[in-house]
Amino acid sequence: MTPEVAVTPDIRDLGEEKLERLWARGRAFLGTRYAILGGAMSWVSEHTLVAAISNAGGFGILATGSMTPHELGAEIERTLASTAKPFGVNLITMHPDLAELCDVCLRRGVSHVVLAGGLPKLADVARLKDGGAQVLGFAPSLGFARRLVRSGVGAIILEGAEAGGHIGSVSAGVLAQEILPHLFEVPVFVAGGIGRGEALAMYLEMGAAGCQLGTRFVCASESVAHPRFKQAFIKARARDAAPTTQVDSCFSVIPVRALANAGTRRFHEFQSDVVGKFQSGQLTKVEAQLKIERFWAGRLRDAVIDGDVKDGSMMAGQSVGMVTSIQPTAEIIAELVEQAALALAANA
């Protein structure tokens, strides 16, 4: 929490000046008023929310997920019709049509592309850069971050295990200490578990160029998430957003952080069934992995769009406990900025 200070004009100006200085590199890279990125959340981060984040001074990112090139093109066009501000597109590196998706982004003048889901191919990074786009990549360790920089990626996002959806095993606080003091070649943005401006200020003082938030924007007025989905977030506590467990150590399944419900328990049963079929030779490892991924993709839409909070996938980060009401996106961002500025002023 921000230490109690008397908020005079001088104090406020001091905090704002320090904030401007600390995230200047991030703002310049993104081309935005604030170095606050909206995390790419499937079914949630569509053109309405993305445009609202960018129009409020942040940096919205479209979640492509399993979209076809045609679907992505249409979604980019809808976003362009809703904002003249910069925004990005999140592409999954394992998508079978990745090269075509990259071309869709370039043809429509998307300024920034986030390559997620693994180490991107050099050819894909080069394709985007040659087409004029800035490329961002996710790094779960310092070594991985350095490999991304060598591949030509222009910025790094380090995402901690506190985040929602597919997660790694290391917290954002630990990753920040591992990476920020040692990586200076490109801007580094921190994600995972961030729900207030004080955390944003902390990471900026550690050397981050800005921060990415997802869960905090789920209950934005502009979010298309179903009212039942939003109410579940408002009622939830941090401990309710728990990662799924791996049922077999020989079969790697990336953990997913979500609000526990009947669907979560059903996933454990489904996972056991699929692993059993893989072990008996009924499924190849790739087929089994795809079945597990498709389970989550379908259940996530059920929850976000249809409001099935009982059996759907309620992907959420641990910052869900800080989501207490439905607010306009601009108000959320203004709160984050004010909290960060006051925290910085108190530490000056």
Distance CA 29, CA 38 (A): 15
Assigned domain for 2 exists: no
- 243 and 291 both lie in a single domain: yes
Q: Provide the token pair at 346.
A: 């108190």
Q: What is the pLDDT of residue 29?
A: 98
Give the gyration radius of the chain's Cα atoms.
20
Angle between helices 197-206 and 329-346 (to 10 degrees): 50
On whether residue 1 sits in a domain, the answer given is no
pLDDT over threshold 90, residue 133? yes
pLDDT at 162 over 50: yes
The CATH number linked to 332 is: 3.20.20.70
Q: Are residues 218 and 251 in the same domain?
A: no
Average pLDDT, the chain: 93
pLDDT tens figures, 216-253: 999 999 999 999 999 999 999 999 999 987 767 666 67
Q: Can you tell me the distance from the alpha carbon of 57 to that of 37, in angstroms, rounded to the nearest whole number?
A: 10
| Percent of the chain with pLDDT strictly greater than 90 | 78
Q: Are both 257 and 117 inside the same structural domain?
A: no
C-alpha to C-alpha distance for 181 and 161, rounded to whole angstroms: 20
pLDDT digits (tens, 9 = 90+) for 35-63: 999 999 999 999 999 999 999 999 999 99
Tokens of 327: 């607010």
Please state the domain count of the chain: 2
Q: Whole domain around residue 129: which residue ranges?
A: 9-224+323-346
Dihedral angle of Cα 87, 151, 190, 242, to the nearest 10 degrees: 100
In a domain, 3, yes or no: no
CA 267 to chain centre: 23
Provide the residue type at 268 as one letter: H
d(CA 343, CA 1): 8
Average pLDDT over residues 77-88: 98
Residue 248 phi, psi (nearest 5)? -140, 120
- pLDDT digits 0-9 by tens, 312-344: 999 999 999 999 999 999 999 999 999 999 999
295 lies in the same domain as 258: yes
Q: Are residues 34 and 166 in the same domain?
A: yes
